[in-house]
Amino acid sequence: MNLSTYFDMGGYAGFVWPAYALTALVMLALLGTTLRTLRAREATLKTMQETLPNRRGNRPAAPRS
Partner 1 sequence: MHRFANPARFLRLAAVILPWTAIATVLLLGAGLYLGLIASPADYQQGETVRIMYVHVPSAWLGMACYSTMAFASAVALIWKHPLADLVGKSAAPIGAGFTFVCLVTGSLWGRPMWGTWWAWDARLTSMLILLFLYLGYMALINAFDDPTRGARAAAILALAGAVNIPIIKFSVDWWNTLHQPASVTKFGMPSVDPAMLVPLLLMGLGFTTFFVTVLLLRVRSEIIAAKIRAIRLTQIHASSSQVAG
- What Å distances lie between residue 41 and 17, 23, 29, 35, 50, CA to CA? 36, 27, 18, 10, 14
Whichever of 15 and 65 has its CB closer to partner 1, that residue is 15
Q: Helix, strand, or coil here: 52?
A: coil
What is the amino acid identity at position 52?
Answer: L
Position 30 contacts partner 1 (CB under 8 A): yes
Least Å distance between CB 24 and partner 1? 9
Residues that bind partner 1 (CB under 8 A): 9-12, 15-16, 18-20, 22-23, 26-27, 29-31, 34-35, 37-38, 41-42, 44-45, 48-49, 52, 55, 58-60
